[in-house]
Amino acid sequence: MLKIKLKSNGKIHQRSFRIIIAPDRSKSNGKFVDDLGFYTPQTKTLQIDKKKMSQWLKNGAQLTEGVDKLLHPDKYPRVKKIKKVAETNQKPPEVSKPEDIKKEEVKVEEKIEKVEEVKKDEEKTQEVIEEKVAEVKEVEEVKKVEAVENK
């Protein structure tokens, strides 16, 4: 059985591929029957003799997966890689029980009460501060008046 394959050539980091017709079980760099074109991944250049390809497909040659991916990229959508989380020291999430939920509600209510108490205390301290500031202003005015009288 004949297949339409990619035959690699070029340097290691400068690969280019010939699109060839070769027997199914032949070596990748072995003998081939016909040359249809080339593909260069660096420039994404793909050139194929479509007449020869259609003739070979009519004669029974089959596309390999690599060539099929080049010719029909929509057929093979890219899959995003999912990062694996380290499984050590991780427990499955616990399901809350109704008793636990009630305890949490009580804790939340207690925290709300504490926050309200703190707000009241802050209001009281603010009032005390304002009273002290008013007293200091009165004392300063009295001192100014006495200073003016003494002159």
Average pLDDT, the chain: 87
Residues paired with residue 34 on neighbouring β-strands, in sequence order: 21
pLDDT tens string 27-51: 888 899 999 999 999 999 999 999 9
Helix (H) / strand (E) element for 20: namely strand 14-23
pLDDT digits (tens, 9 = 90+) for 78-100: 888 887 766 556 666 666 667 77
pLDDT digits (tens, 9 = 90+) for 3-23: 999 999 999 999 999 999 999
* Percent with pLDDT over 90 in the chain: 51
- Whether residue 148 is predicted with pLDDT greater than 90 in this model: the reply is no
Q: How far apart are CA 146 and CA 57, in angstroms?
A: 115
Show Cβ contacts of residue 34 under 8 Å, excluding neighbours closer than 6 positions.
Answer: 20, 21, 52, 56
pLDDT given at position 55: 95
